[in-house]
């Protein structure tokens, strides 16, 4: 996996935003989004979860952000990784594990992360409280700046979900959502990818797709009658 050299993108504003995610320093880790585990997710409907993961994968592809995936025992009952991820993010690198529940316990996985030279980790996975929490806490301990995309992840109950959010904050992991991540990486409409990014809002916030349909129709009607 080759990664972009570390430098500020020319599209980013120069004056502000020091507190925000730097896309040039980021790597996205998608962990254990597997069909068997999806059945146990109870804090978000599985259709929404998959759509949010798709948003993250499309975003990574559009903005050329490295993606590393992994799966927990995909030949067993946990089931296969959702296929959309690698179909969309063809540049994603898959790291097999040797039984470790926590991807950070797998040396190959950590090596792959280190090889990107990036220090900001954006993680999502199923379960949030396990497959995201454990590597996130370990990565914070190793000095990384870590974001957890809560709604591109899933937990087996609402109670577990609230508990995960609290533990992330306590452990110094920054919680975010797919739509906020999209916006934080998008950063400005004055960039060449803007039209493609716009479509992703219709996935992350489905009412937005209808907003865009209404807008285009209203303008077409106005122009036709102008």
- In angstroms, the Cα distances linking 63 to 23, 60, 113, 206, 225 are 8, 5, 18, 22, 39
70/106 with CB nearer its own copies:
106
User: Which stretch in 2-10, 55-63, 87-95, 177-185 sits in contact with its own copies by CB under 8 A?
Assistant: 177-185
What are the beta bridge partners of residue 175? 148
Residues 182-201 that bind its own copies (CB under 8 A): 183-184, 186-191, 194, 198, 201
Question: Residue 96 interacts with its own copies (CB under 8 A)?
Answer: no
Q: Which residues does the annotation mark as catalytic? A: 131
84 lies in the site for its own copies, by CB under 8 A: no
Interface with its own copies, residue 164, by CB under 8 A: yes
- In contact, 57 and 18? CB cutoff 8 Å: no
Q: Give the end-to-end CA distance of the chain in Å, rounded to a whole number.
A: 53
Nearer to its own copies, 91 or 167 (CB): 167
- Name which of 103, 130, 122 is nearest 40 in CA terms: 130
Most distant CA pair in the chain, distance: 66
Residue selected from 27, 53, 55, 137 as contacting its own copies according to rule CB under 8 A: 137
Of 120 and 164, the one with the shorter C-beta distance to its own copies is 164
Residue 73's Cβ-count burial label (10 Å; 0-12, 13-18, 19+) is middle
Q: Which stretch binds its own copies (CB under 8 A): 2-10, 22-30, 61-69, 154-162?
A: 154-162
Give the number of other CB atoms < 10 A from CB of residue 47.
9
> Does residue 157 interact with its own copies by CB under 8 A?
yes
Q: Residue 93, CB half-sphere, CA atoms under 13 Å: how many? A: 19
Residues 201-220 within binding reach of its own copies (CB under 8 A)? 201, 204-208, 210-220
Residue closer to its own copies by CB (options 2, 223) is: 223
Cβ nearer to its own copies, comparing 2 with 224 = 224
**Binding its own copies by CB under 8 A: which of 159, 193, 196, 200?**
159
Count other C-beta atoms under 10 Å from residue 56's C-beta.
27
Window 29-58: residues binding its own copies (CB under 8 A) = 35-36, 38-40, 43-48, 50-51
Among all chains, which residue has been given the structure tokens 């929490």?
133
Tokens coding 42? 């109870």
Query: Binding of its own copies at residue 226 (CB under 8 A)?
Result: yes
Query: Is 99 an interacting residue with respect to its own copies (CB under 8 A)?
Result: yes
Q: Does 93 bind its own copies (CB under 8 A)?
A: no
């Amino acid at each position: 996996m080759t990664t972009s050299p570390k430098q500020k993108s020319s599209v980013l504003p120069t004056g502000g935003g020091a507190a925000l995610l730097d896309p040039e320093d980021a790597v996205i880790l998608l962990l254990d989004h597997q069909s068997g585990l999806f059945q146990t997710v109870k804090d978000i409907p599985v259709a929404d979860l998959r759509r949010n993961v798709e948003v993250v994968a499309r975003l990574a592809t559009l903005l050329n952000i490295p993606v590393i995936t992994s799966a927990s025992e995909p030949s067993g009952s946990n089931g296969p990784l959702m296929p959309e991820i690698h179909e969309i993010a063809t540049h994603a690198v898959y790291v097999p594990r040797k039984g470790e529940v926590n991807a950070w316990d797998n040396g190959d996985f950590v090596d792959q992360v280190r090889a990107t030279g990036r220090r900001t980790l954006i993680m999502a996975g199923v379960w949030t409280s396990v497959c995201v929490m454990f590597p996130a806490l370990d990565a914070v301990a190793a000095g990384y700046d870590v974001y957890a995309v809560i709604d591109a992840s899933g937990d087996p109950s609402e109670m577990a979900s609230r508990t995960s959010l609290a533990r992330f904050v306590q452990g110094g992991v920054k919680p975010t959502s797919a739509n906020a991540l999209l916006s934080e990486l998008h950063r400005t409409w004055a960039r060449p990818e803007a039209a493609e990014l716009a479509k992703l809002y219709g996935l992350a916030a489905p009412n937005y797709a209808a907003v865009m349909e209404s807008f285009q129709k209203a303008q077409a009607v106005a122009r036709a009658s102008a």
